[in-house]
Structure 1
Amino acid sequence: MIGAFCGSFDPLTLGHVDIIERASRLVDTLYVFVAVNSEKRSMYSLDQRLAWLEAACAGLPNVRCAVQNGLVVDACRKAGARVLFRGIRNGQDCAYEQNMAFMNGYLDPDVETVCLFTKPEYDLYSSSNVRELVKYHQDVAKFVPACVLKTLLEQEEMDENIN
């Protein structure tokens, strides 16, 4: 069976990586799509977010990373994915994901949404929180994988050298 997991990953967090690892154990192949969210302005480029995903998933042989253009159900259809995994941290996520599952099911009834609950240690990890911490030069080491931290530290060092 082929599955998919998509997100903006702006930036990728340890919570995302946990969902990817867990979802990858449930399917033969998992496509992880970097999505362009039309309602959000991204802090990091698509290329950067895809590079982070590829680095973080390097040890997962059944995971393929790609950019998603358009609707997630179209990306699922193209990849042959019958299962769309989503992560849920709290009640607010649950309501949002329920609505998205309904809409995706309406658009393609052959794609089933499966929600995985975030582990308690990651339930407060969000890309929005990480972006805010980065903006104010705070330590984000406990929130992001090593590949993301390395890039952020390099960017911070470059910024300091410019100023």
Structure 2
Amino acid sequence: MKVAVYPGSFDPVTKGHLDIIERASKIFDKVIVAVMYNQSKKPLFTPDERVELLKMTTAQYGNVEIDRHTGLLIDYLKAHDIRIIVKGLRAISDFEAEFQMASVNQKLCKEIESVFIMTRTEYMYLSSSIVKEVASLNGDITDFVTEDVKRAILNKIGGV
């Protein structure tokens, strides 16, 4: 069985993330979406809230599971005997950062492979940070996130 982990902060999960999840679910037998803690980011949602939003937005995929982890991704992969990391790429700048991270991960564990999936053109500009900024300035985020995620964001920032 080919199992892959798609890690990220998913704060919040965007339609770009969901595009990568859907496409990865067609390639791998099982995809684990792992909510990771990123100390360089100031989260809007708690890890538990992010897990719940991901569960709501991925319920239609029978081979997608949602989990969370606070340590090194490599430790998570080793603990679950997984050897494949899925990452979405939006632009050249993403590639440089992800290439560096893939190289570090492979140095830490030679059996690990990173698989990169190019984001569809309509989501190339999209990031969780942009969604939060637009929402905080009362902009319309309908095209960026699902209706459930939009409602959660607006409830969180006081926009409803």
Residue 108 of structure 2 is matched in structure 1 by 107
Q: Deviations over 1:118-155 (max 9, x none)?
A: 10010011011011111112110100122201222444
Stretches (4+) displaced over 3 A: 153-156
Which segments of 5 or more consecutive residues in structure 1 lack a partner in the other structure? none
Q: Deviations over 1:29-82 (max 9, x none)?
A: 111000100111111111111111111110111111011120111112222221
Residue 66 of structure 2 is matched in structure 1 by 65
Q: Alpha carbon RMSD of aligned pairs, Å?
A: 1.4
Residue 97 of structure 2 is matched in structure 1 by 96
Residue 86 of structure 2 is matched in structure 1 by 85
Q: Give the structure-2-normalised TM-score.
A: 0.94
Q: Which amino acid letter does the alignment assign opposite residue 30 of structure 1?
A: V
Residue 34 of structure 2 is matched in structure 1 by 33
Contact 1:82 1:111 in 2 (8 A): yes
Which segments of 5 or more consecutive residues in structure 2 lack a partner in the other structure? none
Contact 2:135 2:154 in 1 (8 A): no
Residue 44 of structure 1 is matched in structure 2 by 45
Structure 1 residues 153 and 128, CA gap change in structure 2 (3 angstroms)? closer
Q: Give the structure-1-normalised TM-score.
A: 0.92
Aligned-pair identity (%): 33
Contact 1:88 1:94 in 2 (8 A): yes
Give the secondary structure class of the aligned counterpart of 2:143: coil
